[in-house]
Structures are given as C-alpha cells and as structure tokens.
Chain A
Amino acid sequence: MKPRVLAGLLTLALVPAAAGAASLGLGVYGGMSSPILNDTAGNGPQYGVRAPVTLAPMLIVEPFYAQSALGDVDQSFGGSSYTRSGPDVKMFGANAVFSFGEGVKFYPLVGIGSTKITQSGWADITDTSLNFGLGFGFRPMAKLCVDVRGELNAVVTGDTSRKFGNLTAGVSYALFGSE
C-alpha cells in the first residue's frame, strides 16, 4: 500500500473518533529539524499544524502536517568548497499521544505518516515515516495548551532510512471541549 494512501486512511479513520471525542483542538508549532547521519543535509527550520483529538483522558490522536527546509551542506573536495542545497521535507500523518500527569503533562508519542523529500538534482523520495517522541505541555488557560517536544522522525526508504531529530514548541487551542 502506498504510504500516502496508508496515511490518508489513518487520517480518515480518525474522523468518526473525532465526532465522539472529548475535545478537538487546532495547533501550530515550529522549531528546528536536524538530519541524523546524513551528509547531504544540514539543520533547518520546521513548522506545522496539528489537530489534537482527545479520545480519552490519557489518549490524544493528532493528525498533523509539517514541513522543514533543511540547511545546505558545505564540503571541501580537491581544495575547493562545494555546497549541496539542503532538501525540503513535507510530511503528514497522525500521532498517538499518551498523556500523563497533572499540571505540567508529560507525554510520549508515536506516529505514522507519509513524507516527501525533495532535493535539487535528485529524484524525490516519498515514503512512510514513523515518529517517536517525548513532550511536555502545560495549560496557561483552560482551552490553551503550550508544549515542547523532541521527536525522532524516520523515513523508511527500503532497507535504510532518513532520520531527523526535531525540537519544536507549539500552542494548541481546544475548539470544543477541553483538552
């Protein structure tokens, strides 16, 4: 099954869940994305949107869209410096967030999505990606949540993967219900 179809089906599967959810929110986030063990990309900004759906006190399902513009890489060959333009990364999918604690909440998360990596002079890569992460969040107002997350995003390219470490801060607002 194509990654985009898989992620699309997963997102669609969340629609009925959202209908019976305790709350539905909308959030934005941004931060830094760093390629891991990848000589063709540097650090770059990442930003995105997400829609946290609280299904149970400890379980939030969160469709998301994110994109990053990874930095250029400079390497020296034959006495000259050459620049490889960093790739653009676009991804969508859904995370399952397991929320613990009162006040400041602590939450591990796992997710699946579809990621497209575009780099000048090279064929685009579109594959399934998996997310693993850890976050902390607090609620300065009843419907508002502020959070900080660290994530490992791995795009599975056959027998190998393109991995990114993401550090982001975000804010989300409960459109109905209370997150």
Chain B
Amino acid sequence: MKNLRLILPSLLLTGLMASGCWLISGQFTVSQDLPTPLDVDSQIVIVGAHIDLNTQSTYRDHKNDLKDLADCALLGTFTNTGTGTLDILVYMTPAGSPLHSTKVQLDADATKIKVWGPLTLGPGASKKVGWDESAGLFNADGKQALLKEVKGDGDFALYAVGASAPYKLRLTDGVAVVVVDAGK
C-alpha cells in the first residue's frame, strides 16, 4: 500500500513530463473586421476580403506556438440582394493578394477551397449570423485549410459567393474570427 502511494503520483508525474508542456497553453481569440459593406454581384464584381492575421497582436503573440484551431466563425449580416433564393458559400484562397475581382477569376483559381456554407436566404432576406451557427457552417476540409493558413503565414483571402449564378449579396459588419489553440 505504501508503494501504491508512491507509484500513482509517480506515474502521473512521468506521464505529465513525457507528454510535453501542454499545460502551458490556452485558447485565444483573433479577429479581423472585413470590408463593410461587402457587395457582390456575380455578373459585375466579386469582392474578396484580405485577411492578414499578422495585423492582430494576439496572433503575433502566439504565432510561434500555434497547435490547432479551437473555434472559428464568420460573423456579420448577410443579405440576399438578388431576386432568387441564394445559397451563400465562402471560399478561401491561400494567397491574400492580389484579390480576385470577377467570378471568372475566382472560378479559375485552383487553390480555392470551400470553407463555409451554405447559408440559404430567400430574395431580399437578411440574416445576422451568430457565432454558434457560423461555427457549424464551417466544413471539415475548410477547418483544415484554415488551420494550415493560420499555422502558416496567416495571410489569405475569403470570398462570399452564391452557389449558382447569377447572384447578388451583401455582407455588412463582417468579421472573421479564429480561436487559436496555442501551447509552448
């Protein structure tokens, strides 16, 4: 029994030391405002949002210790300014700039990855997308791609588009939010 009193804490201590410094870690919010309003018309112009997380001090503070994503969301008020029902999708391109300005350019970009959506809105409908809902609209591949960018140069672009053209949409007070999981 005396041995057990030594063995249990020793085993835990050994496990603790063997598993690295996971104890010195945390989940920190990094956000960047998007251009507002962000108006997209598939027949005229699409507007990308250049995200440079390096402009955010929380990201810079933890950039060398990033391990994972703890959460992410794309917040703001989406409006279907077109005349048909719209499924809104968000694509990410690893290159933050130059931004694509037409649907043709974005369609031709082989590096784009669908990260979010669909958010369905009827003609003229508007919706403020909350954090819980938005986190759930990210797909698994999108989270992986976002993680790669967050752990990489932190510089990428997001494009809100319709699933099928023609479409018109507006995003107001948009914010990209990532919660980074950082540990020494």
With both beta carbons as reference points, the residue of chain B lying nearest to A120 in the complex is identified as: B132
B113 sits at the interface (CB 8 A): no
B135/A121 in contact, CB under 8 A: yes
B residues near A, CB below 8 A? 1-2, 4-5, 8-9, 12, 15-16, 19-20, 22-23, 25-29, 31, 33, 36, 67-68, 70-71, 73, 75-76, 128, 130-138, 140, 173-175, 177, 179, 181-183
From A24-32, A137-145, A156-164, A171-179, give the one contacting chain B.
A156-164
Counting chain B CB atoms within 10 Å of each CB, the highest count among A37, A39, A83 belongs to A39
CB distance from A11 to the nearest CB of B (A): 14
B177/A77 in contact, CB under 8 A: yes
With A156-B22, A157-B181 known as contacts, the answer to whether A96 contacts B9 (CB < 8 A) is yes
With A161-B22, A161-B23 known as contacts, the answer to whether A78 contacts B33 (CB < 8 A) is yes
A residues near B, CB below 8 A? 36-40, 55-56, 58-59, 75, 77-80, 82-85, 96, 98, 110, 112, 119-123, 130, 154, 156-163
CB distance from A80 to the nearest CB of B (A): 6
Which chain A positions have C-beta within 8 A of B23?
154, 161, 163
Residues of A contacting B: mostly: strand
A160/B29 in contact, CB under 8 A: no
A110/B135 in contact, CB under 8 A: no
Counting chain A CB atoms within 10 Å of each CB, the highest count among B1, B25, B130 belongs to B25
With both beta carbons as reference points, the residue of chain A lying nearest to B11 in the complex is identified as: A112
Which chain B positions have C-beta within 8 A of A59?
1, 4-5
Contact of A39 among B2, B28, B132, B138 (CB under 8 A): B28
With A84-B131, A110-B8 known as contacts, the answer to whether A160 contacts B183 (CB < 8 A) is yes
With both beta carbons as reference points, the residue of chain A lying nearest to B22 in the complex is identified as: A161
Give Cα distance in the complex from A37 to B182, angstroms.
10
With both beta carbons as reference points, the residue of chain A lying nearest to B77 in the complex is identified as: A80
B132/A84 in contact, CB under 8 A: yes
Which chain A positions have C-beta within 8 A of B71?
40, 84, 119, 122
A85/B181 in contact, CB under 8 A: no
Which chain A positions have C-beta within 8 A of B2?
56
B135/A122 in contact, CB under 8 A: yes
With both beta carbons as reference points, the residue of chain B lying nearest to A111 in the complex is identified as: B12
Which chain B positions have C-beta within 8 A of A75?
29
Q: Kindly list 8 other residue pairs between chains A and B, CB separation below 8 angstroms, not including A78-B173, A163-B23.
A: A40-B70, A56-B1, A56-B2, A56-B4, A78-B33, A119-B71, A121-B138, A122-B71
CB distance from B121 to the nearest CB of A (A): 19
Counting chain A CB atoms within 10 Å of each CB, the highest count among B1, B4, B5, B132 belongs to B132
